[in-house]
Amino acid sequence: MLKVKNLKVRVEEKEILKGVDLSIKQGEVVALMGPNGSGKSSLASAIIGNPKYEVIEGKIAFEGKDLSNLTPDERANKGIYLAFQYPAAIPGVTVREMLLSALRTRNKEVIVSALDLKKTVEIEAEKLHLSTELLSRGLNEGFSGGEKKKMEILQMRVLKPKLLIMDEIDSGLDIDALATIAQNVAEMVKEQKMSVLVITHYQRILNYLTPDVVAVMKDGVIVEQGGKEIVDRLEKSGYR
């Protein structure tokens, strides 16, 4: 599904990623852990094609195709979805309007009914315990941190990406919100064979969303890969 090979990335002349190798198979959940400043979020930004992150060496391939010449929206249309740690507000644009535009842009040959989408969004909001009142507001406008992150997952459930990248989406969430989000993602993995890259500092989200692989990043490189036992060890001894 995703293959990152010897990826080196710089931002404003500073090299952030220094030769990252990472693979994610279809339907696989990979947890990426590491201390602050190790390059985890930079890897997510490079995969989605943030222009601030300049690839100076290496390759990112998705479903066997090189992504280097694709813009962020083109990568999204290929089936990559990034759920942000700090989702931005978009005043004047509701989540329904945003999703309708995204779905129609992704496949111009398929007619997407606004009424059917409205019903789908309401059903998904209920699953995530989101008030339907939020659906008529500007996207993330006046939302709490937990509501913003649940709204990211609502969008994911409607768009049905092939690869979901969650960039520290668990930070600042209470236990109930965390469990709801993780369980919804786990459902998508089971139902759609969606692949997931979970970027996190903590074990708790991995109690609900069990990883197949755990990778540890330090100073811009992945220094270790293995199973869930790595998480247990990190919880006890940290990243030393």
pLDDT at residue 212, rounded to an integer: 94
Q: Is 239 helix (H, G, I), strand (E, B) or coil?
A: coil
Largest CA distance in the chain: 54
Amino acid at position 59, single letter: K
Q: pLDDT band for position 8 (50/70/90)?
A: very high
Domain tally for the chain? 1
Q: Residue 29's pLDDT band (boundaries 50, 70, 90)? A: very high
More confident residue, 67 or 233: 67
For the question of whether the overall pTM of this predicted structure is more than 0.85, the answer is yes
Distances (CA, A) of 9 to 31, 75, 106, 194: 21, 18, 28, 26
| CATH number reported for the structural domain that contains residue 112 in this entry | 3.40.50.300
**Per-residue pLDDT at 3:** 94
Tens digit of pLDDT for each residue in 30-58? 999 988 888 999 999 999 999 999 999 99
DSSP 166: E
pLDDT band at 229 (very low <50, low <70, confident <90, very high): confident
At 134-175, the pLDDT tens digits run 998 998 988 888 888 888 889 899 999 999 999 988 877 888
User: Residue 178's pLDDT is what?
Assistant: 87
Confidence check: pLDDT of 179 > 80? yes
Residues 70-109 pLDDT 10s: 999 899 989 999 988 788 888 999 988 888 888 888 777 7
Q: Which run of H or E residues covers position 83?
A: strand 80-83
State residue 85's pLDDT score.
79
The percentage of the chain sitting over the pLDDT mark of 90, rounded to a whole number, equals 45
What pLDDT was estimated at residue 54?
92
> Residue 185's closest CA among 204, 209, 167?
209
Per-residue pLDDT, 176: 87
Residues spanned by the domain of 81: 2-237
CB atoms within 10 A of CB 25: 14
- Strands 54-62, 14-24: pairing is unpaired
